[in-house]
Amino acid sequence: MEGSCDPYPSTILRMVPFPICDGEDLVTPIRHVAVTGSTNDDMTALAREGAAEGTWLRADRQEGGRGRQGRAWVSPPGNLYASTLVRRLGGDPPAPSLAMVAAVALDELLQAWLGPGRLAIKWPNDLLADGAKISGILLEGAGDAVVVGIGVNLAHHPEGIDRPATSLAALGLSPPEPGDFAAELAAVFAAWLARWRTEGLGVVLARWQARAHPPGTALRVRAPEGEIEGLYEGLAPDGALRLRTTDGRIHLVHAGDVFLL
């Protein structure tokens, strides 16, 4: 996008290459704050001020962090709480599929710590490590832009919630510094974002499905229209979840919470 190639300059913690502007490797800033209400709210404000695509913001702690459907996101220091900005361009795949771009980028990065066989993507936006949630993704619109919020349990994980959660530390691993993790994530996300734009949504969906639970996995979906149970049958071309119920029908789920049975 013309005029969007200058790095957004203030409070820069780390600089990483970000391939935009006709393939040139430019530098994008990762802004850092000690405490904020929500990195997504802050990034939304930056978007309205004209921040460039590829701007990142990371906080040590959030006082008003949230996940999907307004759920509180517990935010102690030591984990990753970050948001980035994608400016929508003509010809882009559907904006909601950016959650899948973020998921495959996170999966690629976390595999470096966890190794093969321990990580799976769960529709629409969670990553599970040994069956427990280790990260989540939240998309929010900001005019012509989409804010992509990413939380990863590096050093801590919540307890007493409605589904199992874990962290790299709980899995017996030495967690990286959040700033280092954010820098690596920014580079991997940029690479997948470029593929999403140039090769289309199909390449992202193929990777997503290869890293998800296998077809035939039993699921319960809590959707706006009610709960439904069935077997996972992959994704539709637009990224919707395909669920086969006991009567043999395929239901397309575009929004809802998914639970493994």
Q: What is the CATH number of the domain that holds 253?
A: 2.30.30.100
Average pLDDT, the chain: 85
Q: Which residue range is the domain that position 250 belongs to?
A: 217-260
Pair 69, 127 in one domain = yes
Supply the CATH number for residue 203's domain: 3.30.930.10
Q: Model confidence over 150-170: pLDDT tens digits?
A: 999 999 988 766 678 999 999
pLDDT of residue 16: 40
Number of helices (H) and strands (E) in the chain: give both, helices first: 4, 13
Pair 100, 224 in one domain = no
Give how many domains the chain has, as a whole number: 2
Q: Is residue 185 part of a domain?
A: yes
Q: Is residue 229 part of a domain?
A: yes
pLDDT of residue 186: 96
Q: Model confidence over 215-239: pLDDT tens digits?
A: 999 999 988 778 999 999 999 999 9
Q: Is residue 1 part of a domain?
A: no
Among candidate residues 81, 57, 56, 77, the one with its CA nearest the CA of residue 67? 81
pLDDT of residue 158: 81
Q: At residue 74, does pLDDT exceed 70?
A: no
Q: Is residue 148 part of a domain?
A: yes
Q: Model confidence over 159-217: pLDDT tens digits?
A: 766 678 999 999 999 999 999 999 999 999 999 999 999 999 999 999 999 999 999 99
Stated as kind and residue range, the H or E segment containing 249 is none
Q: Is residue 146 part of a domain?
A: yes
Q: Is residue 25 part of a domain?
A: no
Stated as kind and residue range, the H or E segment containing 88 is none
